[in-house]
Structure 1
Amino acid sequence: MNYSLKITKIFILSLLVTAYQNSLCAFQKEPDVELKARYDSLNEDFNRYFFSSTPSLSAEEFGLSFISEADRLMKDVDKHERPDLYFSVKDIVYYYYTFQKDTIMSFTVLNEMIRESKELGLPRVEVNTLNKKGVEYMVLDAHDSALSNFNKAVYLARQNGFEELLGYTYNSMAIVYQKMFDFQGAMRKFHQALIYLSPKKNLGMVAVVHGNLGGIHSYLQNGDSVIYYADKLQALNKQLNSDRHTSEALGLFMAGSYLIKNYKQALAYADSVAGMIENGRYTGALYNAKYYLSKTMFELGDRDAAYALAKEAVDLVHANGYTRGEIQYVRWLIELDKHFGEYEIALNRSELLAGVLDSLNSLRSEQRLQLLLINNELENRDKDITALNTHLRIDEQRIYYQNLLIVLGGLFSVLLFTAFFVFYRRRVTLQRVLAKEAQSRLLLSQLEPHFVFNAMASIQYYLLEGNNVNLALGYLQKFSRLIRKVLESTRSNLISLQDELDTLNFYLEVHQQRLNHSFTFYFEVDLEDDDYSLLIPPMFVQPFIENAIEYGVKGSGKNEIIVGFCQEGDMLIVTIDDNGPGLGNSHVKSKDHRSQATQITLERIDVLKKLHKREASFSVVNRQDNEGVVTGVRVQLKLPIFNNPI
């Protein structure tokens, strides 16, 4: 098993067990004595089977007995009166399938829990379940699906003030970014996790986050930052007294000392790490210690010792299947081979390194395939636009010939004219509805090329200027997820508010990374009954967010965009606030572009009014403080809410 995947699975398993233990204490009401006793018995059976070294039953016998008893208990529990007991039983069933590595049934149970928690109005249960679902996808390396579930959990947690769940979710998202080699994204999410994690309640998790941040800076060779996080980890571990954290902190101190060229201090920390390993207390940091010790000995002039240590480090990481570490250590060993004049050995190692790199090329091939699929989708969109234009011309010709037939019919007979006129009015009304519907789809499609080409330009800029293949591939993957969301949204006349929020979040994250995080963004949602499934017309908000990015907050300074959603009866009020220079300070080009977005939106609103007889409007004004100084631009959209698909 790949070493990094093994570590990830161990970490995830600890989270699952912790969440399971917490669920046992989640009863808000005292359940019936009999039901509580049956649950305790089920819990004891679970622990006895999975945590006992010698289980008394076979896997098949235990599974039949356990699932049957769990099903009977769930049928006897009223989930409306005892939701905590009901979902605790569901949790233990989910953990059973997880421990049995039955991925299909694990997802089946999680999907049932999400659906039932929505029906019962239990957002905390829904957030917890979304996190578990995201973790399942994370173990499977399905990064898009994992991040999608974590983002949904973030929305719900923010809406309901579940700060401790936000800390857990951001930490999980950071692990996903770390597995994708997007270290900047991982550091950003780890820092967000620290905002919401309390050292009093989540000391162990806080220590893990600091250790992960130190490891990332070690990989990026930021020596001062490595020592900073090692100090943080060591201070936290005074309360935890964990061998794992002690060894990790010593390893970080050793790496940081080497990176700042304090070689004597690095040797001292290496001796401390070796002492722990010799006592058998913790061996996980052995290969990393040997790697940095090898580099330190080389700098101190003991080249033979450096070579021996480097070879031991390579053998260890190869045995553990730690691909990223193996690449790093083999490159160092090749440098040492060249230093000793062993060029043939260096060549052989280079060929071995090429084989290791092949395992990473599959990921890059997948990213290229995604780009080809996107291009294919864009070509299909162009064909759709052409077809819609043809359809509009045909409708206009039909209306013309129908008018001509009416005029000719009126010459023959007033009665015939009257009868034909009634037929004409009905037919024309139908054709106009169809024409307006096609026009609405055409205008929506016309928004997409401009939107997509801007995003493609962002990718080109990132690839040319960033000069980092791994980050570029991560950015491309974000862009592919965004394109898929946009294409899915524009296939329907109406989409759910949740889907619109997902699309806007992906869109803002892409631009945020393109602009080196020169701005922040927030969503503020205030809905009746927290109903994210309400239906609205798609892609009304995106053009104004694009204007806010390009002509409001793009540049230096503490820039931010706040997107608010507020329900007033059967209308959704959307506000887009930025702290840019305002309308009066915009350049001519930005005015032209803003007017283009305004014209497109006016046309779509006109189609919406004529086609569905629903009101919609928008306004764009400067924001001002108490002294009349312009502090940015506010766009307010009023969109109709639909209860049923059209």
Structure 2
Amino acid sequence: MQLFKKTLRLWFLLCGLVTLAQNNTESIAQQPKFTVRGSVVEIDTYKPIQNVNIEVNGGAYTTTDTFGEFRIEARKGDELTIKHKDFETVYYTIKSNERLLVKVQPNAEYEASMLKRKSKSRYNIESFNALIDSAETYLKKDAKTSLEFAANALEKGNSIKQNADAYEVLGDIYMYWKQFDLAVYNYRISLQSINSNLVKLKLAKAYKQNKNYQESLSIYNGINKANLSNWQLIELNEGLGDVYYSTKVYHKAISSYQVGLNIAQKHLITPKITDLNSKIAQTYNANGEPETAKGFFNKSMQLANTENQKRAVEEKIKVADFESENKNFSDEIELRKEALNTINDIEYDSVFDNSSALTPQKQNYKIGNAYAAQKDFNNAIPYFKKSITEADNKADLIVQKDATRRLSEIYRDAGEFNKALTTYQEYVELVDKLYAQKEQEISQAARFSRDIAIKQNRILSLENDRALNESQYQLSTEQAKRQKLIIYSLIIGVLLLLVLAFLMYKNIKQQRFANNLLALKSLRSQMNPHFIFNALNSVNSFIALNDERTANKYLTDFSKLMRAVLENSEEDFIPLEKEIELLKLYTQLEHFRFQDKFNYQIKIDPSIKIQDFVIPPMLLQPYIENAVWHGLRYKKEKGFLQIELKQSNPSQIQIIVADNGIGREKSKALKTENQKKQNSKGMGNIKKRVSILNEMYKDKVDVEVSDFQNTEDVGTKVVVTLKKD
């Protein structure tokens, strides 16, 4: 009996240990994977050792390259095994994605066959690795400090491999700080030194973020899949799906995500299974298949619940957004309330900045919106108030402003006009505060961009110095051959002259370009007050006639037009589609004023791909203004204005503004001397703008003005020709 009790206790003890081990294994399996980088070197000479076996207890395997370096996918808590015939096996438990330097003591036979290296080599490797580690440590904290460490590492590096690593880290820094064009540049330089699939994946992602979609697809499709790990295969297919999603090729996006999902399911890579189910759901929803999307969202939400609270609440919010888009407000409210409870629990352990979707103020705001959409104002009001309070506590002016505006609208719809007015006044104050804050942010962003540019220029200078030093070294080895030295000197002299000539040409061209930009800005600033003055005169005439309702209507439409004009006023070219919208609104306003003087028609050839063309802003408006004010207004009977867009050939379109008014000569005879001066100045400004833009952008715009018809009122015809890039 005593023996039986001891055996039973031992059995329970063993079961407990097995359960503990299983729970620990499951906990490790749920950790996200990351890339561990490292190198294996001799402890004394720091000579790299190649073909070392590197294995993770989870099954991943690789070997060191000729530089003694390796990369392997692992999780926190995994055990790394490092084996080679010339030294004892090393075991290491992964703590983070730090860069590892594994120093090993070779056996006597191996040491006897190798020469000792200089201490300088050891110092350089340690110094380079320390600088790269520091750059990665500061990557997410301080861009300038991180760039400084990376630049110093580039300066210390004395091998192709170190050069590639330094530029890869530079690419990572720029990628994190959303400087995608610079990330692309540095990843490309890294690949020029060492051809790495991991860097290619990063480059493809940087291209996608920079909206170079075709370049991104080219990189993804050019990677040799046979050399990729399972994790990298998933990233490749996920990246392809992201590019196709961004370009709205949804069937290809779903296909790519599905390939990645199959690999993740086969190899039990849980975080990616969750992510890809979520992305497939979003793609189906974007493609107009909400029922199919809902099934995938349910899967992703179930999987996210098995990971951690933060991941679970992120997925719950995505599903809530999906329900909101499809007007399932009751389901949305339930999901957001659950998410809000979880956010309140994890806020103590996690820090969410105001840009995150996981903030109480945003979720309270969206719950209030959902109730408002159901006309349930009694429930909507408390949530908007909570949102305002939370946003105020966390200095989130954007959400506070939006929630205050919606609360004012709810009070208005509920018939509580005093509260609506008070809340609207608070909203106006918040708009002023937000405007001031945005001005500060713009100023800070400008300073940040300047600092980034200075750092990148230093890096470029280092690379140029490196190239120059290498060139000098090559020349010094051939100093014994005088003839070659003379030839090289002549070549370098010619190259320097060519570079100097090129730099001078480039400087002159840039100066001319800057002068043209300044001239364009000056001309635009002269046109806008002229346009505003004429429009306000129209409002004034309505007020003078005591037609307050018409004046209000006209002023409302005029404000919409002014907003569009001001938004476009800083651009050299805008999409033709925007200019057409502006013209429609402007012509409608002029017709509203002079509806007894003319009718109008805007005719667009349906075969024109409007999105393929751009046009200088406010180019057409003065011609329409002249047609109305100087041609049709003085016509005895009712006139007609026609605006027509037609395709003259595949690379260009024509915009025709034609009126059957009194014509240019009669109009000129009716004008006062001041009117002639103002009109001449306005049309002269247009000609100057067109001339400057054609000089800068190689004849993209052509304008021709002529009489429209052979009758008493000859009218005017303006033909503007736009050429595609």
TM bucket (normalised to shorter chain) is 0.3 to 0.5
- The alignment's TM-score, normalised by the length of structure 1, stands at 0.39
Which structure ranks higher in relative contact order (CA pairs < 8 Å, sequence separation ≥ 6)?
1
- Please state which structure has a larger fraction of its residues in strand: 2
Bigger radius of gyration = 2
- Please state which structure has a larger fraction of its residues in helix: 1
